[in-house]
Amino acid sequence: MRIDILRVLPELLEGPLGHSIVKRAREKGTVEIFIHNLRDFSTDKHRRVDDYPFGGEAGMVMCIEPIERALDHLQSKRSYDEVIFTTPDGLTYNQQEANRLSTLENIIILCGHYKGVDQRVRDHLVTREISIGDYVLSGGELAAAVIADSIVRVLPGSISDETSALSDSFQDNLLSPPVYTRPAEYKGWGVPPVLLSGHKARIEEWRHEQALEKTRMRRPDLLDRLEESED
Ligand code: SAH
């Protein structure tokens, strides 16, 4: 899979996408991630990519031209399955969307900045608009890092124990059951005895019950989704 990210601020993405699982996946070639500077596609002598909004509002707006030039440059080389714009008024991101995106071959993620982008970018150049939650960030870089990281995590080969990503929270609309490690007893706080029993089937059953119980308490909305998908 190939992910191209268009952004104006250098550095903000290199860090989050240069460590741990994502770093290893990039090294192994499970995923290719390219980060581009939109300023490189500006024809302005000061490499500007924003301008004042029509109508006299406060703040700056990202111009359509450098964005279209950047997209044209990428799209002339290969076809892309999605051009995603990160924006607080987009569809709220979740695990199902991360799973779906992980099945695609090439995607572009466009990071907004300032007050956002000229609406014509959204109307004509973008295929999907994603929000990572109901709050406003200063720029789309962190949102792009969140989206890319969550995609890479579920790509086959990213995690050595492949079942591990599948047992994460939200896969199957359930929260993940509690986990424990050594020591089995700490300050008198024990570990559920079933986990020490070595009885695989019973452990599995316990985990499922715990996941259900936690989801019922914390996120009953997920269970409604589970029932809908079973109907
Ligand atoms: N004026 C805009 C917010 C601009 S924030 C509004 O009220 O909707 C600047 C940029 O940060 C956005 O263009 C977007 O790319 C990014 N951003 C901010 N919050 C985000 C969120 N919750 N999810 C995804 N991207 C976000």
Per-residue pLDDT of 6-62, as tens digits, reads 999 878 898 999 999 999 999 999 999 999 999 999 999 999 999 999 999 899 999
Q: Is 115 in the pocket of ligand 1 (CB under 6 A)?
A: yes
**Average predicted confidence (pLDDT) for the chain:** 94
Residue 174 structure tokens: 């359930």
What pLDDT, on a 0 to 100 scale, did the predictor assign at position 231? 66
In whole angstroms, give the CA distance from residue 178 to residue 215: 12
Residue 30 structure tokens: 């499970």
Segment 74-103 shows an average pLDDT of 97
What pLDDT, on a 0 to 100 scale, did the predictor assign at position 165? 80
What pLDDT, on a 0 to 100 scale, did the predictor assign at position 132? 98
Q: Give the Cβ contact number of residue 35 at 10 Å.
A: 20
Residue 190 structure tokens: 């024990």
Compute the distance from residue 136 Cα to the ligand 1 centre, in Å: 5
What pLDDT, on a 0 to 100 scale, did the predictor assign at position 37? 95
What pLDDT, on a 0 to 100 scale, did the predictor assign at position 59? 92
What pLDDT, on a 0 to 100 scale, did the predictor assign at position 171? 84
Amino acid at 215: T
Residue 77 structure tokens: 């080389």
Q: Which of 80, 159, 87, 149 is nearest to 118 (CA)?
A: 87
Q: Is 87 in the pocket of ligand 1 (CB under 6 A)?
A: yes
pLDDT in tens, 176-210: 999 999 999 999 999 999 999 999 999 999 999 99
Segment 57-76 shows an average pLDDT of 96
For the chain, first and last CA: distance in Å? 33
In whole angstroms, give the CA distance from residue 10 to residue 132: 21
What pLDDT, on a 0 to 100 scale, did the predictor assign at position 227? 77
Q: Is 143 in the pocket of ligand 1 (CB under 6 A)?
A: yes
What pLDDT, on a 0 to 100 scale, did the predictor assign at position 181? 97
Residue 217 structure tokens: 């308490």
Run of H or E residues at 99 = helix 95-102
